[in-house]
Structure 1
Amino acid sequence: MFYFVHTTDLHLSRFRPKGHTYHFLHFIQSILPVVKPEFVVVTGDLTDAKDKKRVTSQQYIDEWDVYQTAIKEKVTVDWYDMRGNHDCFDLPSWQSRVNYYRTHGHSANLVEQGKGVYSWQLNRPTGKYQFVAIDACPKRGPSRPLNFFGYLTSKTMDQLENALISKPYNHTFVVSLGDVLKSYDPVTKSLELELGDLKEHGLYRVVAVDHDLISFVDLQLPLDQIPKKGPVNSQGLVQPMQDDKIIWPHLVQPAPAILVTNPKDARFSIPSKEPLWRIRQSSHIRFLVFSNETVENLQVEILIDGKLHPHPASFVGSTKNPLWAASWDPSLFEDRKAHQLTVRVTTSNASVGTSNTIFRVDTHRIKISGGSGEFIIKSKMSTVLQCITIFTMAAMLLLLLIPKFFAPQYETDVYSKKRINRLLLRIHTIDQTKKKTPYLKIQKSILTWSFRFLQLPQDQPIVWHLTFIYILALLTLPWFRANFIPSGATNAERYGIFYMWGMVFGGEWVPIADTWMFAAEQTTLDVFAFFFLVTWRGTDASDLRCRGAVVGQRYTSDVKTAAAPPVIKEKHRRQLNEMAWFKGLEVIYWLWRSSELVALASFYGGIWPTLVQNINVYWMLFSGYTLAFGKNGVMCKRKKQKNRILVMVEGCMACQQHDSVISLVEEENEKKIPLNDEGNALHYNSSASINATTLTQEEEQQKIGFMVPSTSSGSSSCSSSTPFDGLPHVKSRKRQLKI
């Protein structure tokens, strides 16, 4: 058996007295002497490299001095480290004077010799074990925020391949910078177990290999014994050094830590690579106990499925290997079910440590149930960001180009006009139904948005052309030029050109995935969002409603006066984007997205060149102008709702009937024909005007699954008060018609 300690994200900082540097010092002084591991491996982000306000970033020599000096003074075991993205913030190259990892990193020589990959081995009686460390920092490290993803060059990949397949080993551990996600890959049949940070949460991991069974436990510093904020100097900086020596904090007393090695946790088993059959054949429960107390002062209690284990535990290890064991019969648990093993250790001062292990003895593994974390690990995030960006751009190009093929391009384009009329007819047909199902509502929304996009090239040609040109520019041209690496010695090192596909520094291509992250944000939140808003404003859904089926339409008449004409009041409901509060949200959203570009400029060189030489800035100016002064813009005065003229669609019976009523009322007003007492002076042959279009209406009704009652054919006088599907008689000619 052997075990080692893994920790990550130290983030030693001269500006952060809470956690960070002091957690690192407590880890070295109070944890390592108790655990006594074979070695320690630190996977990146050794220093914080951020300023006091966490806006800009640079490498600080004093943070690296604390890191190097603390290891030299207190660490007595092998120490392996590698860089994270914070360790290559604002870094022109490996040979740069500000690459302090090269001079202060404990494994810097190994990283340089292995070109980003190095390995070490352990030989034990049970076999050989290999450990491979990967430095995925980019060749040129921009300042934050565009330095989150790392990548491996082709040479680094070759080095990694050679390290992994050169010789056979019992187990190979690959270590690199990660987070807190855990996942099992059924394709490679391997585990990916990321770890939380030491800087704030005080987390570290102990990994043990017991007869080729790999077990681990994530532990935490005793944060209740550590002050929330450590001491600072007169300048407010964290400087725990005096005369080139560390000023160590007080010792803390961690609770007993327990790591069960047999039976191992079934959630993290690897059936194809571990001898899980040994669990079934084992005779003892085995576990490690790490504590400041002597063995005599420890009280150990074992429970399985909540029941006290009948056999007591005894210490069978040594000062370098704190192993405990208790007899057990694994055949009692061969029921193909999961069981829980609980080990509780109590010290003389009543400090308690507990470990819970879910195990099986039939070699089957249990799902980790990592939720979204498993998806994030299994999906390559850079590929996900690329797909989001490309899909968004492709969708917008299709929405721009399809109307050019299907919408009318000139006055004599009869077929396209018929296509548009048929689309409107289907919208009107849905409007005429009294009870709209969810399916019909969704169908109407799809048809309405289809009409908006089809009308965009003719309705707003400037928007169409500039959006199309801008998307092509994003795909092919550089986005902006900026001072990405301020610490560079020359302009070629400092200034880079940003493409969607990567960055260019002095003619050198850097395929950093952060460009895709920025591109996904810009295309979805800036380009597509404003394209959507402008298209939405192009045509109002209320303008597309059927004239004869207006929601909330009311007909009133003065029954006291026979000469009183009908007053047709149509209640128009405004769209969501016509509301004042929604327009206010549009302004706030535009200001927020514009502030993001200003913030980007504050990171990378200011107004020149980051703002001036940035095509996204000009898109934001255009979109802001369009939202303010374009069609139905925030600053434009709109006609009152009651003065709108609804669209009349050829082939719609309700529109024809509604228009006929209006015509007859105007005729009566002009001719001043008196009405009789019964109100039957108005005669209208409804079928004569709509026979030519009824077939089209019925066809559309059949498509969406309902029929509207048709008017009776033949010429007859209107004896009913509502002869045209609920439309009233006109009983007066004195009042003006109001719509």
Structure 2
Amino acid sequence: MLRLFSVLIAAGLFLACLTGYVLENYTVQQRTYGGAGEHLRGAQPPYPAGGMDNIFWFLQVSDIHISRFVDPQRAPDFQKFCTETIDVIKPEIVLVTGDLTDAKERNRIGSRQYEIEWQTYQTILKKSKVLEKTKWIDIKGNHDTFNIPSLESVNNYYSSAIAHLCGHLHTLGGFMPVLHSRHERGTLELELADWMDNRRYRVLVFDHDLFSFVDLKFDKWPVVVITNPKSALYSSPAHEPLGKIKHSTHIRVLAFSPAQVTSVLIKIDGVTMGSAVHIKGPLHTLPWRAKDYSTGMHYIEVRAQDKAGRTTIIGHKFTMEEVRLLPFDIMASFILRSSHYMTLRVIFILVLLANILVIIAFRYLTRPQLKESPGFFALVNFSFHVFSKTNILYYPVLLFTCYIAVGPWFIGEIVDGHFGACFVFGVVVDGHFLEGSLTFLIGILQLTFFNIPLICYLCWCLLLRCRGAYFRSHIKYTGWSCSVPMHISMLGLLGWQVYACYLLQKTYGTAAFFLSPVRTWSVILALVLVYKAWNLNNSAIRTFKADMKNCPYS
């Protein structure tokens, strides 16, 4: 009981520390960053007015994933984007932030560079003449560097890059369609959803040094961006002259559409302000008295309609008071701002230590004396003692668990023509060390869904052996309702590991399949250990069988 109480206290302290850390770094409370006019240029003209001056807009698109095998509509849609969308919006710059091509094999397991995917991408740029219409800046992503050992590689079909932005996270499988946050010093972190599956892109605007943007679905018109007053949620007092808003004379809206924009209706706090006047290009403005909204938080809504009858309604909160920064979603902030590498490494170490320390502790703890009709937890405790004190099972499992942390998981062709070794902490190839990140996640899964269930299954087998059962006769001690789920779980466990071996072979070749202690060899190890558990010599567990002799199994 004392040990259980100590564990609960330790777990409570850990959860308290974790909660304090999350609340400190990803708070949902509003934060105050001084007055709106504190920026050096906040009170300096020019101010947002009714003219087409001091405004600049550009586009971002990410994770295009041009593929030769899947989604044949992806490339034609992207070509349409490069012609119609670019022609309508007329951005000064287009940023393509990574993963231009898919570089995945037909089975979606292996990775390689396909020249035809790069040719398709280049052909779209040439046919659409987009390079003649705007400045086009594309950046390599992780898919664009699959299987490329160096910039000089014959598989490197990319030219160069001068910027780095990334929408790499997509939408996390649809669970996080919006991934936006703000860092401690006010810098925004704005992940863009992918083009690959979601056909998303972004329009970004600097209007009198005030930053605004909108994330959009391809081929949805009209496109509307409210540039003044700008959104309070995306305000950055340290980087923007927010004081210009209260000195402005006009509400400013950009409205883009292939058809003529016929109306731009503006409301503030539910009150209709009127229709904005078209100035030039996409700019529409409406005079306003900014001082009427100098206190409190307000909501502006814009309804734009084009000649084709399509309508877009957007809105946001704004304020001209001392800047009360609105909170972002706490989960999005955690995902974007956390050091996931460090988090995964810590979790891996904790799971590893839990695996090792538990079986070592049971080995050196005194064997419990079973009382008549022992309960479930007493039997579980007893079975772990049997396992930890049975050398032929204890040492292989302990050494294999330690090996996961220090030894190479596999040796194979990491990149075509270049052999290397993969460890939990990184990859060594051609004398170069590449620090690991997702390898820690794979290590966590290996320990959690292979090592731990295997130990539990072996403990169950040993418990039955202590009752005098063998594999062919154990049903009479447990019944079908218990034995069948246990064996199916074990088969599922081995099946999952075999499938991991298959993925390893498809990804890194036959050599990696045969030279993989953590994958291929672990399947053999598990089968051997299970066989040993069911066929263990009675002399190895004689003392435990004696303890169980007079205890009804329940």
TM-score normalised to structure 1 length: 0.59
Q: How many Å separate the matches in 2 of 1:448 and 1:384?
A: 35
1:580, distance to aligned residue in structure 2 (A): 1.7
Matched residue type, 1:360: T
Which of 337, 353, 359 is equivalent to 2:318?
359
Q: How many Å separate the matches in 2 of 1:39 and 1:512?
A: 35
Mark the CA change 1:426 to 1:303 in structure 2 (over 3 Å): closer, same or farther: farther
Which of 223, 234, 252 is equivalent to 1:257?
223
1:36, distance to aligned residue in structure 2 (A): 0.7
Per the alignment, residue 93 of structure 1 pairs with 150
Once the two structures are superposed, what CA deviation does each residue of 1:228-278 show, in whole Å capped at 9, x if it has no partner? xxxxxxxxxxxxxxxxxxxxxxxxxx5211001112222222233323333
1:455, distance to aligned residue in structure 2 (A): 3.7
Is 1:268 equivalent to 2:234 in the alignment? yes
Q: Is the 8 A contact 2:167 2:193 kept in 1?
A: no
Mark the CA change 1:65 to 1:453 in structure 2 (over 3 Å): closer, same or farther: same
1:375, distance to aligned residue in structure 2 (A): 1.7
Q: Is the 8 A contact 1:34 1:290 kept in 2?
A: yes
Per the alignment, residue 680 of structure 1 pairs with none
Q: Secondary structure at the match of 2:415?
A: coil
Per the alignment, residue 302 of structure 1 pairs with 266
Q: How many Å separate the matches in 2 of 1:340 and 1:427?
A: 69
Q: Is the 8 A contact 1:46 1:84 kept in 2?
A: yes
Q: Secondary structure at the match of 1:11?
A: coil
1:31, distance to aligned residue in structure 2 (A): 0.4
Per the alignment, residue 617 of structure 1 pairs with 520
Q: How many Å separate the matches in 2 of 1:24 and 1:463?
A: 58
Once the two structures are superposed, what CA deviation does each residue of 1:282-303 show, in whole Å capped at 9, x if it has no partner? 3322111112234xx5112112
Once the two structures are superposed, what CA deviation does each residue of 1:384-425 show, in whole Å capped at 9, x if it has no partner? 2222221111111111221233235xxxxxxxxxxx34xx56
Q: Secondary structure at the match of 1:504?
A: strand
1:368, distance to aligned residue in structure 2 (A): 2.1
Aligned residue pairs, count? 469
Per the alignment, residue 346 of structure 1 pairs with 305
Per the alignment, residue 588 of structure 1 pairs with 492
Q: Is the 8 A contact 2:181 2:332 kept in 1?
A: no
User: What pairs with 1:6-405 in structure 2 (closer than 5 Å)?
Assistant: 6-73=60-127, 74-75=129-130, 76-102=133-159, 108=160, 111=161, 118=162, 133-134=163-164, 177-180=168-171, 181-222=178-219, 254-294=220-260, 298-309=262-273, 311-316=274-279, 318-319=280-281, 322-334=282-294, 336-337=296-297, 339-362=298-321, 363-369=323-329, 371-405=330-364
Mark the CA change 1:576 to 1:85 in structure 2 (over 3 Å): closer, same or farther: farther
Q: Secondary structure at the match of 1:367?
A: coil
Mark the CA change 1:189 to 1:450 in structure 2 (over 3 Å): closer, same or farther: farther
1:204, distance to aligned residue in structure 2 (A): 0.5
Q: Is the 8 A contact 2:299 2:316 kept in 1?
A: yes
Q: Secondary structure at the match of 2:412?
A: strand
Mark the CA change 1:646 to 1:278 in structure 2 (over 3 Å): closer, same or farther: farther
1:95, distance to aligned residue in structure 2 (A): 0.7
1:61, distance to aligned residue in structure 2 (A): 1.6
Q: Secondary structure at the match of 1:630?
A: helix
Q: Secondary structure at the match of 1:216?
A: strand
Q: Is the 8 A contact 1:57 1:90 kept in 2?
A: yes
Once the two structures are superposed, what CA deviation does each residue of 1:421-445 show, in whole Å capped at 9, x if it has no partner? 4xx56996xx7xxxxxxxxxxxx74
Q: Secondary structure at the match of 1:529?
A: helix
Mark the CA change 1:177 to 1:81 in structure 2 (over 3 Å): closer, same or farther: farther
Q: Is the 8 A contact 1:47 1:64 kept in 2?
A: yes
Q: Secondary structure at the match of 1:37?
A: coil
Which of 502, 522, 538 is equivalent to 2:446?
522
Which of 421, 441, 453 is equivalent to 2:384?
453
Mark the CA change 1:186 to 1:450 in structure 2 (over 3 Å): closer, same or farther: farther
Per the alignment, residue 483 of structure 1 pairs with 413
Mark the CA change 1:632 to 1:352 in structure 2 (over 3 Å): closer, same or farther: farther
Matched residue type, 1:405: Y
Q: How many Å separate the matches in 1 of 2:480 and 2:319?
A: 57
Per the alignment, residue 403 of structure 2 pairs with 473
Is 1:597 equivalent to 2:498 in the alignment? no
Q: How many Å separate the matches in 1 of 2:386 and 2:271?
A: 73
Larger RCO: Structure 1 or Structure 2 (Cα < 8 Å, ≥ 6 residues apart)? 2
Q: How many Å separate the matches in 1 of 2:188 and 2:69?
A: 36
Q: Is the 8 A contact 1:479 1:499 kept in 2?
A: yes
Q: Is the 8 A contact 1:452 1:539 kept in 2?
A: yes
Matched residue type, 1:67: Y
Per the alignment, residue 413 of structure 1 pairs with none
Q: Is the 8 A contact 1:182 1:193 kept in 2?
A: yes
TM-score normalised to structure 2 length: 0.77
Q: How many Å separate the matches in 1 of 2:294 and 2:79?
A: 46
Per the alignment, residue 686 of structure 1 pairs with none
Q: How many Å separate the matches in 2 of 1:627 and 1:308?
A: 75
Mark the CA change 1:531 to 1:334 in structure 2 (over 3 Å): closer, same or farther: farther
Q: Is the 8 A contact 1:481 1:614 kept in 2?
A: no
Q: How many Å separate the matches in 2 of 1:42 and 1:505?
A: 30
Q: Is the 8 A contact 2:167 2:194 kept in 1?
A: no
1:628, distance to aligned residue in structure 2 (A): 5.6
Q: Is the 8 A contact 2:62 2:167 kept in 1?
A: no
Per the alignment, residue 52 of structure 2 pairs with none
Per the alignment, residue 708 of structure 1 pairs with none
5+ long unaligned stretches in structure 1? 103-107, 112-117, 119-132, 135-173, 223-253, 409-419, 432-443, 544-571, 634-643, 649-738
Matched residue type, 1:454: H
1:60, distance to aligned residue in structure 2 (A): 1.6
5+ long unaligned stretches in structure 2? 1-54, 172-177, 468-475, 537-547
Q: How many Å separate the matches in 2 of 1:536 and 1:213?
A: 66
Q: Is the 8 A contact 2:259 2:308 kept in 1?
A: no
Q: Is the 8 A contact 2:98 2:142 kept in 1?
A: yes
Q: How many Å separate the matches in 1 of 2:531 and 2:288?
A: 77
Q: Is the 8 A contact 2:424 2:439 kept in 1?
A: yes
